[in-house]
Copies of this chain bind each other. A is one copy, B any other.
Amino acid sequence: MAPPFFAIISGAGSGTGAALARRFAQSYAVVLLSRKPSSYEPIVADIRASGGTAIGITADASDPAAVDAAFARIDEEWPGSKLAAAVYNGGAGMARKPFLELQLSDLDISIETAARGLFYFAQKSLPLLLSAVDSAPHPPSLLVTGATASVRGSAFFSTFAAGKFAQRAITQSLAREFGPRGVHVALAVIDGSIDTPWGKERVVNNGVEDGKISPDAIAESYWHLHTQHRSAFTQELDIRPFVEKF
């Protein structure tokens, strides 16, 4: 039987994506999008083991055809289910290089991942979110994962920042257009290293405890954004470790 509401998490294979999927699965069925089944399978299993509902779909969120297919698949699996939250949790695209060593393709990848992917994901999600405004338990939400580079173009990060700035522009525009229609669009500017299972050896902030951002803590903030009353929407917040310089 189709669940009444679901959430969709792109980039579910990242540490943040996995935590988001688990958090939203406490209240909704969840769809995990990621490029490889191996990224979402353990999380889907985990959610199911905890009594939740989850499906994984193999899709590159920056590929329109794959996103089309994913939404079609959801409609088949769970006909009539309403979209309560869509999270665009982008990956990668970060090339740290002197500008003169970069290629146009570095820029293209960053734009594709951060901006073009969000654009298309939003075009598929927003009509569904709009149609859930009157029935969903919380304002339907489009939540986007930004980075330091969303608000600062550092030396050697020109292409990464270009994509992340463009993503922030889209998020702001959508907030201003769809907020008044009842959809909550917000950006979380993640300013620091995330504590992922596969990055344990990387030392940041002198290795101090909690010097890397807990993905579960990020997920709590997204859940808070999602559950905000419509009279009190946050459009943008920053998230960083207590010891991070900023």
Contact = CB atoms under 8 A, between A and B. Distances in A.
Contacts of A235: 238, 240, 246
A8 interface: no
B228 A232 contact: no
Interface of A: 64, 98-100, 102, 104, 107-108, 111, 115-116, 119-120, 122-123, 126-127, 139, 149, 152-159, 161-180, 182, 184, 195, 210-214, 216-218, 220-221, 224, 227-244, 246
B126 A115 contact: no
A242 B214 CA distance: 29
Contacts of A217: 228-229, 231-232
Given A111-B115, A235-B246, A240-B235, A153 B173 contact: yes
A193 to B, nearest CB: 10
A169 B176 contact: no
8 contacts: A107-B119, A119-B162, A153-B171, A153-B172, A153-B175, A158-B169, A158-B177, A220-B228
Given A162-B166, A228-B221, A230-B210, A236 B237 contact: yes
Contacts of A64: 104
Contacts of A98: 177
A149 to B, nearest CB: 7
Contact of A233 (B169, B212, B227, B242): B242
Contacts of A159: 119, 170
B236 A240 contact: no
Contacts of A158: 119, 169-170, 173-174, 177
Contact of A173 (B99, B100, B127): B99
